Amino acid sequence: MRWESTQSVLMRFKVEQGRAKMVGMGAMWAVVVVLQVITMLTGVTGQGYYEVVLPNAGIATMHAAVTHLGSVVLLDRTNVGVSQLNLPDGVCRDNPEDRATTHDCTAHSALYTPGSNAIRPLFVFTDTWCSSGQFDANGQLVQTGGDADGLMKIRTFAPCGDGNCDWVEQGTQLQNGRWYASNQILPDGTQIVVGGRSVQTVEYVPANGRGTFYLDLLAQTNDAQMDNLYPFVHLLPNNQLFIFANRDSILYDWQSNTVAKNFPTIPGEPRNYPSAGSSVLLPLTAEGGFSWPEVLVCGGAQYGAYMSGNMADASGNCGRIAPLADGAGWAMEDLPHKRTMGDMVLLPTRDVLIINGAGNGAQGWGGASNPVQAPELYKPNNAAGTRFSTLAYTDIPRVYHSTANLLQDGRILLAGSNTHQFYTLTGNLPTELRVETFSPPYFGANPSGFTTVPGALAYGQDFTAVVKATAPTFIELNLVNAPFVTHSYAMGQRLLQLAVTAPADNGAGDYNVFSTAPPSQQVAPAGYYMLFPVADGIVGYASWVKIG
């Protein structure tokens, strides 16, 4: 445990009190918060801090996604035996194809509500082990594939405010079985589903009459330990896809299903499952016309570590590439900590958080050691060699099957970690059922928030946001979507920095900020985004905005 000074504890109280007021939670919540802060006393001043918000979620979180209602869908696999979260009385899953428990009255998915920290069991029938997904334009989570009886399945979850929503197994199935595939929402509102174990094709959901299409990249990168699983897929503003598998990458035209360009091989180790690096599309900015995309790939594992169980050092570097540049190539940088299974989160400050993972080994049951329990902050706009800093240490290691998701209040929700075939609650790296949050260093004593903000925006629409802040010199408005997070990859994750005017004080601490919505669905596929006000580097509470 790391101890804080009294001054630091009081600062944390002021931060949480300000956020409580912004969401209308009142004085009682502020009292609860200060008691939690004084009791916990965890974290490191200036480097962020952690808090266990749920001592036992009842399930190990293999997949996680934040809905536009603020709740978080937690999802495990079904073939793991009974969980510690019971389904409602009288509800059981009777599935003769389940390889662990054919009559199971426990949940393998749940809905978590930040703030109240309530957990509600959800019912999922077919196996979601190592599946994929993303939200559609209406905020419905579309979830695809899995193992065994889940291999061809399409499931949906439509968030609701009345507690009655649950998983729905669709009658339509995938055209190819997808286990360890990746999804990316497209400008036309469909999702492309790429790859999977022993699958070298892409397909679309809904298919709309389209079949499957062979992708040579997946065949060429399929080494002996299949390091091309969970490929990294990023939608670029020119309406093409950057697809990365193992160590190679292409520019893919999804409308013609052809390869537009091949990129150089990234130096170093394999980067995809089971070697498990991670990747993000760096923030797009209005200043650059949203037209200059860059991709960051960090971490991975030594080739052969997965097959042999060799606890070799993980990858110690990152590669960065501008796919639309002439002669695009990789610029390499060293990581402060060697890391496999790290999750990369785009922060409202336009920085990248690299969190979770291990320093040795690869993904798989018992396949890693030396957990890396301090995250890295990557500042993409700094000069090379000055971009990384190390943040606060956590007592909870999170390695295989763990997640990291950005919440509406700017915290990072950390869940999961199960390095075992079944739930194993003792021994080395046990199944982790605790859920915690990480509050990055951008929390200030006077966080900003919206007094007025549109709930929906058309492409290219001008709008005014009224932001409550304390004498700011500059306010950013940054849009961040909610990805589907699993196996060290946040599917569909993107951040857009909008054009803004200088804040104009209209009295009572309110500031008018004039801005313009993203120009097209190629820049921002239709759907729900968190709009964050960032006043002089201090992140405020986000509002959900529907774009499209």
304-343 pLDDT tens trace: 999 988 899 999 999 999 999 999 999 999 999 999 999 9
- Provide the whole-model pTM: 0.93
Alpha-helical segments (H) within 99-151: none
Q: How is residue 411 written in tokens?
A: 């915290």
pLDDT for position 310:
87
Q: In this predicted structure, what is the pLDDT of residue 77?
A: 97
- Can you give the pLDDT at residue 200? 98
Q: Mark the ranges of the chain whose per-residue pLDDT is less than 70.
A: 1-46
> Where would I find the beta strands (DSSP E) of 167-301?
168-169, 182-185, 191-194, 201-205, 213-214, 232-235, 241-245, 248-253, 258-262, 278-281, 284-285, 295-298
Q: Quick one: residue 228, left, alpha or beta (phi over 0 = left, psi -120 to 50 = alpha)?
A: alpha
For 83, the token pair is 């969980």
In DSSP terms, 72 is beta-bridged to 66, 112
Closest by CA position to 108, among listed 136, 73, 68: 73
Can you give the pLDDT at residue 281? 98
Q: What is the pLDDT of residues 83-108, one digit of tens each?
A: 999 999 889 999 999 989 999 999 99
Backbone angles phi, psi at 27, to 5 degrees: -65, -35
Query: What phi and psi values does residue 305 have, to the nearest 5 degrees?
Result: -60, -40
CA distance 486 to 397: 16
The 3-state DSSP class for residue 413 equals strand
pLDDT at residue number 446: 77
φ/ψ region of 16 (left if φ > 0, alpha if ψ in -120 to 50, else beta) reads alpha
For CA atoms 24, 25, 28, 33, give the dihedral sign.
Answer: negative
The answer to whether residues 362 and 276 touch, using CB atoms and an 8 Å cutoff, is yes
Q: Cis link prior to 206 (omega < 30° from 0)?
A: yes
How far apart CA 26 and CA 22 sit, in angstroms, is: 9
DSSP one-letter code for 273: B
CATH code at 51-439 = 2.130.10.80
SS (H, E, C) 226-237: CCCECCEEEECC
pLDDT of residue 46: 65
Residue 267 amino acid letter:
P
Using a 10 angstrom Cβ sphere, with 0-12 exposed, 13-18 middle and 19 or more buried, the burial of residue 25 is middle
Segment holding 296, helix H or strand E? strand 295-298
**Phi first, then psi: what are they for 438, rounded to 5°?**
-115, 125
Q: Tell me, what's the pLDDT at 377?
A: 98
User: Which residue do the tokens 């240490």 mark?
Assistant: 393
CATH for 449-547, options being 3.90.850.10, 2.40.30.10, 3.40.50.12640, 2.60.40.10? 2.60.40.10
